[in-house]
Amino acid sequence: MNARRLIVGLAAAALLVAPAARAQDKGTIFVPLLVYRTGPYAPSGIPNANGFNDYFTLVNERDGGINGVRLVWEECETQYDTKQGVECYERLKARNPVLVNPYSTGITYQLIPKAPIDKVVIHSMGYGMTAAADGRWFPWVFNFPMTYWSQASAFIRYVGQQEGGLEKLKGKKIVHIYHNSPYGREANPTLEELARRYGFELTLLAVDHPGQEQKATWLQVRRIAPDWIYISGWGVMNQVAVKEAAAHGMRMDRVVGNWWSGSESDVVPAGDAAKGYKSMTFHAAGAGFKVHQDILKYVYERGKGAARKEQIGEVYYNRGLINAMLNVEAIRTAMTRYGNKPLTGEQVRWGFENLNLTEQRLEQLGMKGMLRPLRVTCENHEGNGMAAVQQWDGKQWKMVSDWIEPMREVVRPKLEAAAAEEGKKLGYTMRDCAREK
């Protein structure tokens, strides 16, 4: 009897939870969500996944889908593990996805070769393979609003602003502490190039996965006595780095993380010591935007929210929202050309490539001031995004800089060279963007 009741209960819960099982008028578009709600990186993965869920629910609840076409999605747990991610992707591929957000650099690398064959757009928002930003070589991969290389150049520009001009960088000491993985190493070539150009002393210090052990690294840092520290960390490495920086008496406002090293879970464990710590970002944190009111009204008041209410507005929650919004707007762009109906991966790819997110559109979406307008082109898949610096004041992340333009003239040529190299490895040829319509 009990067992039966349990099954009935579960089935009822299933009907409530699953957004998939509903009759639709104009058809649906399926988006797989690779999430990591368990495992060592869950503190970052959970808010991000919740942001995705809430935005998609919002679009369905408030607007009845994208121009009447409802979104259907299914989560698959990857534990941030490449092999599990590939398993997820292959499983969900059966449901004809139009796009995928891999949410791990490792998984992104796995999926890039598959994308043109499976006709599934890859959107790695601010992570993944930097070289893929050259759309001539990688038509199926998008990493807007910015790449790691642009981010690193924006960091140096920020340091220049703080020091009173880029020419003042000469002789300054900058240390890059990075996660010893493809992800962590990404910024190195750009920083090295800029060190040559502006004459600052750059020291690269690797921290091995998972990053709990950093004593030796910080002893070195102490010996160098750097003017600025840039951290490319992930998960527990960030918490330890922030704690160590404080313990070694670094000026916290000169310790700057990249945008995967600046969330609540990175600073809260360090307590008061983390006050003043900065990080790069490409969007604002906090729940004060109109989109959040909409989410509370259309999603949470109807009992369909994925997160707890107080988690709304966390850095990674907002990042999930923005990523979901960019996906939705790209699909909407594709619909202007192909009609308001379920689309194929190829059609959605066109939408991504012609995405033009204006200030006005952001205002309509309730995201004005949350991120910058964005324009993607055939050549440039990282768009024209800008970075900003946010600072932890002990309670919340606050934006403390204007939008910073990356040094595109430095990054782009290197990026094109890398794209040619990576593209040739995969046997691609460069397409001619002038011929694309």
Partner 1 sequence: MIYREAGQFKTTYAADQAIFPIAQDKVVVTLAVVAAFVVPTAVAGDYWLQAVLIPFLVYAMAALGLNLLTGYAGQLSLGTGGFMAVGAYAAFKLATAFPALNIVVVFLLAGLVTAAVGLLFGVPSLRIKGFYLAVATLAAQFFLIWLFNKVPWFVNYAPSGTITAPDRALFGVLVTGPNATAQARYVFALALVTVFALAAKNLVRGRVGRAWMAIRDRDIAAEIIGIRPLPTKLLAFGVSSFYCGIAGAELVFLYLGSAETLAFDINQSFLVLFMIIIGGLGSILGSFLGAAFIVLVPIFLTNLPHLLGIAISTALRKQIELMIFGGLILFFLVVEPHGLARLWQITKEKLRLWPFPH
Q: Where do contacts with partner 1 occur on this chain (CB under 8 A)?
A: 10-11, 13-14, 17-18, 35, 37-38, 42, 46, 49, 75-77, 79, 82-83, 86-87, 90-91, 93-94, 106, 109-110, 113-114, 117, 129-131, 180-182, 185-186, 189, 206, 208-209, 418, 421-422, 425-427
Report the residue number, 216 or 426, with the smaller CB distance to partner 1: 426
- 51 backbone dihedrals φ, ψ, rounded to 5°: -60, -45
Pairing label, strands 388-392, 397-399: antiparallel
Residue 234 CB, shortest distance to partner 1, in Å, is 11
CA pair distance 143, 385, nearest whole angstrom: 10
Residue 80 CB, shortest distance to partner 1, in Å, is 10
Q: Look-up: residue for tokens 């981010």? A: 151
Both tokens of residue 149?
């290389």
**H helix and E strand count, the chain:** 16, 14
Residue 259 CB, shortest distance to partner 1, in Å, is 18
Residue 180 CB, shortest distance to partner 1, in Å, is 5
Q: What order do you get walking across the sheet with 278-281 strand by strand?
A: 201-207, 173-179, 228-232, 255-257, 278-281, 388-392, 397-399
The set of residues, in sequence order, having a beta carbon less than 8 Å from that of 309 and lying 6+ positions away, is 296, 300
Residue 290 CB, shortest distance to partner 1, in Å, is 29
Report the residue number, 322 or 418, with the smaller CB distance to partner 1: 418
Q: What order do you get walking across the sheet with 121-123 strand by strand?
A: 99-100, 121-123, 141-142
- 404 backbone dihedrals φ, ψ, rounded to 5°: -110, 125
Report the residue number, 94 or 434, with the smaller CB distance to partner 1: 94
Q: Using the Cα atoms of residue 335, residue 339, residue 341 and residue 345 in order, give the sign of their dihedral.
A: negative
Report the residue number, 132 or 312, with the smaller CB distance to partner 1: 132
Both tokens of residue 34?
């690779």
Report the residue number, 89 or 228, with the smaller CB distance to partner 1: 89
Q: How many CB atoms lie within 10 A of CB 5?
A: 9
Residue 153 CB, shortest distance to partner 1, in Å, is 15
CA pair distance 126, 187, nearest whole angstrom: 12
Q: Which residue, 361, 379, 380, is CA-closest to 370?
A: 361
Residue 111 CB, shortest distance to partner 1, in Å, is 9
Report the residue number, 234 or 277, with the smaller CB distance to partner 1: 234
The set of residues, in sequence order, having a beta carbon less than 8 Å from that of 335 and lying 6+ positions away, is 66, 67, 69, 341, 343, 351
**Residues facing residue 76 across a β-bridge:** 34
Residue 349 CB, shortest distance to partner 1, in Å, is 18
Report the residue number, 140 or 397, with the smaller CB distance to partner 1: 140
CA pair distance 72, 249, nearest whole angstrom: 50
Residue 36 CB, shortest distance to partner 1, in Å, is 9
Residue 246 CB, shortest distance to partner 1, in Å, is 28
Report the residue number, 37 or 290, with the smaller CB distance to partner 1: 37
Report the residue number, 30 or 403, with the smaller CB distance to partner 1: 30
CA pair distance 240, 428, nearest whole angstrom: 41
Report the residue number, 290 or 431, with the smaller CB distance to partner 1: 431
